[in-house]
Amino acid sequence: MPPTHDIDIAASTRTDALRRRLLRIAGAQRALLLPVAAALAAPVQASQSETSAALVTEAFAAWKAGRGGIFELLAEDAVWTVAGSSPVSGTWHGREPFLRDVVAPINARLATPIVPEVVAIVADGTRVVVHWDGHATARDGRTYTNSYAWFLTVADGRITHVTAFLDTWALEALMQRDMDVPGLDAPAVPPAD
């Protein structure tokens, strides 16, 4: 009968060999499965990015063509923030308050609609950033121009959150012009948060 420690060594060697073999198999399976899992996940993210970008691209094209626009995509409970510290900066909760308190007073000062020229649209899943320039003629005959970067969140085909960066002082100057237009309301004051 062989010494006891020799049996322990042989058993230990077989156990170690078996453990190493199992680890190699598991590693090979993991190495095979990780790229498969990544490949399955990647199209979902790319598809969401493509869908979000296409939705926003189509809305801006419709706006430029004068047959609709980005505001039609706003969810009823959308939150819109105009960044900055000017009198026109603030946050609005809900589609209707934003359209009533921000969009309507701006449009009331314009003789022509703002025409967007998209510079770039970048999407990552449900997040879309639109860099665009806008041009319009005000009721006083002067040009209104601004550059914008809108950070949008899209969910279920609707825009739920927007943070808008623009030259808010140029917008404030438009809002303060004496247009001498009957019935033109005073500029909207952003709600207190």
What is residue 121's predicted lDDT score, i.e. its pLDDT? 97
91: domain CATH number is 3.10.450.50
What's the structural domain count of the chain?
Answer: 1
Q: What is the pTM of this model?
A: 0.70
* pLDDT at position 101 over 80: yes
Q: Which domain holds residue 101?
A: 46-176
Token pair, residue 169, equals 């002082």
Question: Is 186 inside any structural domain?
Answer: no
Q: What is the pLDDT of residues 27-70, one digit of tens each?
A: 655 555 555 555 555 555 558 999 999 999 999 999 999 998 89
**What's the rounded Cα separation, in Å, for the pair 41 and 143?**
48
Q: How many CA atoms lie within 13 A of 44 on its CB side?
A: 5
Question: Is 122 inside any structural domain?
Answer: yes
Greatest alpha-carbon span in the chain: 114
CB-based contact 151:129 (threshold 8 Å):
yes
Question: Is 67 inside any structural domain?
Answer: yes
Cα-based angle 177, 180, 185 (whole degrees, multiple of 5)? 75
